[in-house]
Amino acid sequence: MKHNVARYGLILNTERFDECVAFYQGLFELPLLFNKEDGGFRLICLAYGDGYLMIEQGGRAIEGGKSPEQGSAKLRFNVSDIEQALRDVREWGIDAEIEETPWGRTIHLHDPDGNRVGIRDEAGFEWQVSS
C-alpha cells in the first residue's frame, strides 16, 4: 500500500441498535469514542483494540443468529481467561460453551442482531502465531 493506514475499524449496521450497543459496551466493556445523531440516524463509535467498532443503524436482525452466508464477518475478542469470559457471557443470559479445537479454545455466540461473535483464548492464538 502506497499510503499509510492511519486507523482501522469495522462498521456494523444493526437493526436492534440500542441492544447491540449495550451488548458490546456491557459484555466487552468497549470504551465510547463518540456518538452521533443526525435526524433519525444514529451511530456510536467504540474503541476496539487499537481500532474502532462503529455501530450504526440500518442492518437486519436474524433470530437465532446469522450463518456465515448471511453475515460473512465474525467479530473476534481474544481474552486472557476464557473460563472467566464464559462466566461473563452466562451472566448476560447467553447459553454458551467453550469449544475445544486443535488450534485453541473458543466461545461462539451472536449479538442481539444475530451477528457472529467469537471469544478465543489468547494463549492459543499466541501459540498459533509462533508455530
- pLDDT tens for each residue of 29-74: 999 999 999 998 999 999 999 999 999 999 999 999 999 899 889 9
Q: What is the pLDDT of residues 71-114, one digit of tens each?
A: 889 999 999 999 999 999 999 999 999 999 888 999 999 999 99
Residue 100 cell numbers, joined:
475445544
Q: Are 9 and 56 in contact (CB under 8 A)?
A: no
pLDDT at 128 over 80: yes
Q: Residue ranges per domain, the chain?
A: 9-130
- What architecture is domain 9-130? Roll (3.10)
Q: In this model, does residue 131 exceed pLDDT 90?
A: no
Strands (E), 1-131: 9-14, 32-38, 41-48, 51-57, 74-79, 98-101, 104-110, 116-121
Q: Is 44 exposed, middle or buried (0-12, 13-18, 19+ CB in 10 A)?
A: buried
- Are 95 and 8 in contact by the 8 Å Cβ rule? The answer is no
18-35 in b/e burial notation, b at 16+ Cβ within 10 A? eebbebbbebbebeeeee
Q: What is the average per-residue pLDDT within 12-25?
A: 98
Are 14 and 61 in contact by the 8 Å Cβ rule? The answer is: yes
Enter the C-alpha cell of residue 93: 443470559
All residues at 6 or more sequence positions from 47 whose CB lies less than 8 Å from its CB, including other chains: 30, 31, 32, 33, 53
pLDDT at 1 > cutoff 70: no
29 beta partners: none
